[in-house]
């Protein structure tokens, strides 16, 4: 049996999604390939690869935003727009996480990018410089 690489599967999924095929159908196909190849443990990595492909093709990104406090709706809107421009995609969505250990500031992680402007990162940079 020919083994299809995860990267190839991600490319195929991105192509199909952009062609208008339903996400449910594509998910079933990918799941079938993984199950037949006994690669179920790669499912999460494959999802990340698909997200990466969609982002580098400028279509969509799902950004995880970490801050010390909850974000206001207005601020969420501003961040969404900033992420969309920074990642150069048509659509961006935010997934908010509150983590008080970052102390302050903001950390944004997408499939292909990462920006960290938190206070804890600055302190860690200071520790590394010392």
Question: If binding is defined by CB under 8 A, does position 62 make contact with another protein?
Answer: no
Which one-letter DSSP state was computed for residue 94? E
Q: Which 64-83 positions form the footprint of another protein (CB under 8 A)?
A: 67-69, 71-72, 75, 78-79, 82-83
Nearest of 100, 103, 104, 65 to residue 82 by alpha carbon = 65
Q: For residue 26, give every residue at least 6 positions away whose Cβ sits within 8 Å of its Cβ, in sequence order, or none.
A: 13, 16, 17
Q: Which of 40, 93, 97, 104 binds another protein (CB under 8 A)?
A: 104
Question: If binding is defined by CB under 8 A, does position 112 make contact with another protein?
Answer: no
For residue 110, count other CB atoms closer than 10 A to its CB: 20
Taking the least distance from each CB to another protein, the nearer of 32 and 88 is 88
d(CA 19, CA 84): 22
Residues at the contact surface with another protein, assessed by CB under 8 A: 67-69, 71-72, 75, 78-79, 82-83, 85-86, 100, 103-106, 108, 115, 117, 119-120, 123-124, 126-127, 130
């Amino acid at each position: 049996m020919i083994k299809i690489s995860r990267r190839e599967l991600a490319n195929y999924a991105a192509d199909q999604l952009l062609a208008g095929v339903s996400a449910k159908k594509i998910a079933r196909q990918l799941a079938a390939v993984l199950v037949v190849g006994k690669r179920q443990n790669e499912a999460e990595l494959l999802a990340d690869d698909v997200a990466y492909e969609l982002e580098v093709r400028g279509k969509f990104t799902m950004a995880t935003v970490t801050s010390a406090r909850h974000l206001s709706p207005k601020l969420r809107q501003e961040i969404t727009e900033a992420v969309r421009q920074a990642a150069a995609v048509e659509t961006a969505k935010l997934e908010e996480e509150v983590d008080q250990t970052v102390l302050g500031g903001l950390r944004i992680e997408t499939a292909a990018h990462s920006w960290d402007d938190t206070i804890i990162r600055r302190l860690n940079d200071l520790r590394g410089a010392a």
